[in-house]
Structure 1
Amino acid sequence: MNEIKAWYLSRTIWASLITVATALAGMLGLPVEGLDNSALADTLLQAVAAIAGLVAIFGRLSAKDRIG
């Protein structure tokens, strides 16, 4: 495991955040039973990857300097 990736691309981080969020939602009285945390984590991770790709494309198109 020598590869480095951004924290927001980690499934473990997303699954942990979703677990904390659903626990807090349950404490606040929101209906969270039947929620598939694994599917939600995968969906959020895909959304983050898509947004990161769009930001990279936009950044490159709006850049003032050439790539050397």
Structure 2
Amino acid sequence: MTTTKPWYLSRTIWASVVTVLIGAVGLTGLPVDTIDGSSLTDTVVQAVTAFSGLVAIFGRLWASKKIG
């Protein structure tokens, strides 16, 4: 494995974040037995991917210098 990717594109990181959040919510006494962790992780990954795409597009539109 020689290539790298940003941390926010890692499904493992997002699955871990979702797991920690579900655990923390469970500690507060809120019911979490109906939450599907796998589909929640997929939703979070899709949202982060969409957000990073928007940041890239608007970042290029607002850039003040040319690429290359």
What interval of TM-score do these two structures reach, taking the shorter chain for normalisation? Answer: over 0.9
Distance in 2 between residues matched to 1:34 and 1:66, nearest whole Å:
50
List, as ranges, runs of 4+ consecutive aligned residues in structure 1 with deviation greater than 2 Å. none
Among all aligned residue pairs of Structure 1 and Structure 2, give the percentage whose two residues are the same amino acid: 59
Structure 2 residues without counterparts, runs of 5 or longer: none
Structure 1 residues without counterparts, runs of 5 or longer: none
Deviation at 1:32, TM superposition (A): 0.8
Distance in 2 between residues matched to 1:65 and 1:25, nearest whole Å:
45
| Alignment RMSD (CA, Å) | 0.8
Distance in 1 between residues matched to 2:7 and 2:67, nearest whole Å:
26
SS class of match (1:4): coil
- Aligned partner of 1:31 in structure 2 is 31
- Aligned partner of 1:64 in structure 2 is 64
Aligned amino acid, residue 64 of structure 2: K
TM-score w.r.t. length of structure 1? 0.93
Aligned residues: 68
State whether structure 2 residue 6 is matched by structure 1 residue 6: yes
